[in-house]
Structure 1
Amino acid sequence: MKQLLLIFIGGGTGSILRYAISKLLRNSINIIPYGTLVVNCLGSLLIGLLMGYSLKTQNLSSHQLAFLVIGFCGGFTTFSTFSYENTLFLKSGDFLSFIGYTTASLVLGIGFVALGFWLVKFL
């Protein structure tokens, strides 16, 4: 039960921060939704750092990982918004933005997780 509460609190905190960053970066002239892209990249980096650190040091408890990785990062990053935004690109016939946004999101997301793991090596 404690872990569920930690995930709930972490998820709410991550969601609020995601909303604030997305609102801050929202601009009607942007071709790509930078707010979603930024939070997904930051969340990917944070997950890489947290999991890399946890695997390297064994210093994070299962409760801390539940709060930070499942809760906070899960609430902070957003696959559903990414999917919705891509659906809008497809509906409007904007295939170039669809391809660019999807490619950038996947490459950068995976790259930032890997960067997080790599950075932990130097801690």
Structure 2
Amino acid sequence: MTATPAPSPARPPHLRPQLIGLVMLGGAAGTAVRNAIENAFAASGDHLLPWATFGINISGAFLLGLLSELLALIISNEQRRRVLQLTFGTGVLGGYTTYSTFALETVRLGETNHPIAAAGYAVGSVVLGFVAAYLAMLGTRRMVGIAERGQR
């Protein structure tokens, strides 16, 4: 009598070439959008505060909150939800938002004798990012609830 081999466990997402490719494509798309916004803002004049990065990161936090909540509420298939989260959350929004530019701009503000602006920019970005994500999650939950009640 031969023993039946145990099924091999699924490969983790970070080892699946298709998912890595989706994250890369999403990241390239998000980075391209961010670059276009930064270039448009750079052409609009000289600003003390880096408003383009600020707006990008706050809107990215909002979109990530919306996406995460929406996927959790309407996509029951875990594998499909993971693919969408990796593609759009990790990929597109990961490429769109930019922590490294935020950190560099904060340091530059401090180095150019604007320590209060640097502190305000740093704290404001983090706090408003959390608020934006939270409000997006609440709003998404509410809208999905309204849509579900309307279908009954």
TM-score band, normalised by the shorter chain? over 0.9
What amino acid maps onto 2:47 in structure 1? N
Deviation above 2 Å: which 4+ runs of structure 1?
A: 26-29, 58-61
The aligned counterpart of 1:15 is 31
Q: Does 1:66 align with 2:82?
A: no
RMSD after superposition: 1.3
The aligned counterpart of 1:33 is 50
The aligned counterpart of 1:79 is 99
Q: 1:55 aligns with which of 48, 72, 75?
A: 72
The aligned counterpart of 2:22 is 6
Deviations 1:11-50 (A, max 9, x none): 0000000011111122543121000001101110110000
TM-score for both structures, normalised by structure 2: 0.76
CA distance in 2, matches of 1:28, 1:86: 19
Question: Greater Rg, structure 1 or structure 2?
Answer: 2
CA distance in 2, matches of 1:89, 1:120: 35
Cα shift at 1:56 = 1.5
CA distance in 1, matches of 2:133, 2:49: 21
CA distance in 2, matches of 1:117, 1:55: 10
Structure 2 segments unaligned to the other structure (5+ residues) = 1-16, 145-152
Q: Determine what percentage of the aligned residue pairs are the same residue.
A: 25
TM-score for both structures, normalised by structure 1: 0.93
CA distance in 2, matches of 1:35, 1:83: 14
Structure 1 segments unaligned to the other structure (5+ residues) = none
CA distance in 2, matches of 1:92, 1:28: 18
Aligned residues: 123
Q: Does 1:117 align with 2:149?
A: no
Cα shift at 1:61 = 2.4
Deviations 1:53-89 (A, max 9, x none): 1111225521111110000010000000000001111
CA distance in 1, matches of 2:96, 2:112: 27
Structure with larger RCO (C-alpha < 8 A, sep 6+): 1
